[in-house]
Amino acid sequence: MKAMSYVWSVVATLSITAGATSVAHAQHADVSPRVADGRIVTDGYEDATSTLIPNLRIFAYDFQEDPSDPYFAGDPGFNAFSGSGLTAGSQLRFNVPSGASFGLTANLTYWDGAGDVSFGAVPSGETLRLNFGSQNVTVGNSTGDITGYSIGTVGSGGTIHRHLNSFLNGSDGNNDPTDGFVPADGIYLVPMELTSSDSSIANSLPLFLVYNNGLSEEQHDLAIDFVQTNVVPEPASLGLLGVGALGLLRRRRA
């Protein structure tokens, strides 16, 4: 993990914006939490180019990158740097808030890529499983808040680097591509919030994970734009600096 200080984050962002063409195919975006005004806020960090986008709340990933394991993604990742303000020894956790809080029909919603972007029920009872080791949270057509688990322990100086695993399950409840119950191609949307075991630190504003399963990059981009415009709640101004760089931190299909 590269050393970093949040002091230079805004400077880095301005440099990225000026040279956007050179990083248009960024391959990896981690959620980079820090504490501001007593609350967890999130930046986006692209490890390959060491770029940081402040106040990013939409993170995009792709399934079907590995033909041998098409419905697995080793994301989202979480990467907090020294000086983040997270309390050393505390637990960084996550929850899946109710999709109804954002005008969605469920905690996991779906767009098939046809016509205008519109997220609705996932087909055939499909689910998304967020996994780390023996810990699992399965997100589907439920509408209530879902309590997650600890992502990991914050290290000295406020650092943490940990990846969850995402599994897109067919209607039979697993992600095996050979069992005849493969998930439908489309865009899958999941809200998330980060929390700390340090009760003095408030929960993050909601994040949104936008997964592409088999659609084009253009359709994925349309879905991201829709989420930014229609789903991400106020304060909208919090993400303005990062909005222009959403495409830079996409996880592109190889």
Task: Reduce the DSSP state of residue 42 to 3 states and report it.
Answer: strand
The predicted-structure confidence for 74-128, as pLDDT tens digits, reads as follows 999 999 999 999 999 999 999 999 999 999 999 999 999 999 999 999 998 899 9
- In this predicted structure, what is the pLDDT of residue 47? 83
Residue with tokens 């499983």: 129
User: pLDDT digits over 4-17, tens only?
Assistant: 444 333 334 333 33
Which pLDDT score is estimated for 222? 96
CA dihedral 74, 13, 2, 64 (to 10 degrees): 20
Q: Considering the entire predicted model, what is its pTM?
A: 0.85
CA distances from 30 to 14, 44, 47, 59, 89 (A): 19, 6, 8, 8, 21
